[in-house]
Structure 1
């Protein structure tokens, strides 16, 4: 018996990966309404991208995802920033205390690009704060994208308050092995949300969507493939919201 053929992500296997990309994004609604039919609106979005609690905007993860989003969304600009506690080398405060700082940045960017759809993106804690900002009066975001939403608090409480306040379309990108957000808990919250929501699942992904090497090998994909699937789903979501072509 000859040696077993190794699974690759080339040829037919690569096509299978792309097929899976189109199958794992779950919508809470059968359709997504465009934000506007105004021909004067430029559909290229501007993105404000907030980091998580443990790493600044200069981290490898943030830089990689910033580049992925820039390529997939054809964004006019991807704006990242550091919350003040980062430079002071202090632990992160409660998310509520970061809202004003974050909101000021969002308002400044919205004023700079008034004709572009505004998309708020956040990693973990940054996604939670982004949802709080989006729920504020005076913020006219087109959509919110949560990369690893930290639904479960340190004491086990379900932190769904910001999500239930949202009225803007919201997308979640969650790993199936994310200890801070089980898919079952998130689905229960999504059913209660007023806003349209969409979910893209990263099979075997952790809180940062990282997949163990053994699981990548079994699936016949790479970490890059999984991340490309995620950003493709985000790009489709944003294009449907903004009416981009």
Structure 2
């Protein structure tokens, strides 16, 4: 894939917090593993007892070295990277079980495409790109209709990549549950007039992921 070695950011719950499992969390297409969103959701998850492992796809690692923006790698490269990361994490003795996989936008979508193959305990996607913005006729849901891995998708109700009315008639697998966050955009951020704020939504997501981890095998 690349000569640049994989690097990880591992955030753990405070010592007094009971660990409930681990989540390998991939970034979206345009922002790195230490973006504001990734850092914020990681903080909330550790508060809820989840150990979070962040990593970067090859194109983002290259961007970090050169400072030049690059488009995402081809899908086979992204999926192979997920396989490598998952294998590495499963061999670590310092990551509490169960080990869940997931990510923001593209990172979550790629995780969803290998979840069954890897035998992951569960899948957590944040702002799933169900379709390109403005093109709901181009749904990317075929594998979500047959998935067997327990999966949670956290989606803002005004996310241009997939809103409730656009997904109401899509028959997803019984293993997949969508949690709708009121007025959230693709970053799960609501407008001030909604009466909600992003930190509340992220806290709710983290609490839900923690409960989910406790119930995964």
Normalising by structure 2, we get a TM-score of: 0.79
For 1:1-245, list aligned pairs within 5 A. 44-72=20-48, 74-75=49-50, 77-86=51-60, 87-88=62-63, 89-113=69-93, 116-136=97-117, 139-153=118-132, 156-189=137-170, 191-193=171-173, 195-215=174-194, 219=195, 221-242=196-217
* Counterpart contact for 1:148–1:172, Cα < 8 Å: yes
d(CA) in 2 for partners of 1:84, 1:226: 30
For structure 2, the residue ranges without an aligned partner over 5 or more in a row are 1-18, 64-68
d(CA) in 1 for partners of 2:143, 2:80: 15
Cα deviation, residue 54, structure 1: 0.8
For structure 1, the residue ranges without an aligned partner over 5 or more in a row are 1-42
* Counterpart contact for 1:128–1:162, Cα < 8 Å: no
Cα deviation, residue 115, structure 1: 7.1
* Counterpart contact for 1:175–1:202, Cα < 8 Å: yes
Bigger relative contact order (CA 8 A; separation at least 6) = 1
Query: Judging changes above 3 Å, is the alpha-carbon distance between structure 1 residues 224 and 185 closer, same or farther for their aligned structure 2 residues?
Result: same
* Counterpart contact for 2:21–2:214, Cα < 8 Å: no
CA RMSD of superposed structures (Å): 2.2
Cα deviation, residue 101, structure 1: 0.9
Post-superposition CA distance 1:53-112 (Å, at most 9, x none): 01000111111111111221x13x311011111124311134343100111101110121
- Secondary structure at the aligned position of 2:131 is classed as coil
* Counterpart contact for 2:147–2:175, Cα < 8 Å: no
Normalising by structure 1, we get a TM-score of: 0.71
Cα deviation, residue 165, structure 1: 4.1
* Counterpart contact for 1:135–1:165, Cα < 8 Å: no
| Larger helix proportion of the pair | 1
Aligned length: 191
d(CA) in 2 for partners of 1:205, 1:48: 23
Cα deviation, residue 232, structure 1: 1.8
Query: Judging changes above 3 Å, is the alpha-carbon distance between structure 1 residues 228 and 44 closer, same or farther for their aligned structure 2 residues?
Result: closer
Post-superposition CA distance 1:201-220 (Å, at most 9, x none): 110000110111222xxx2x
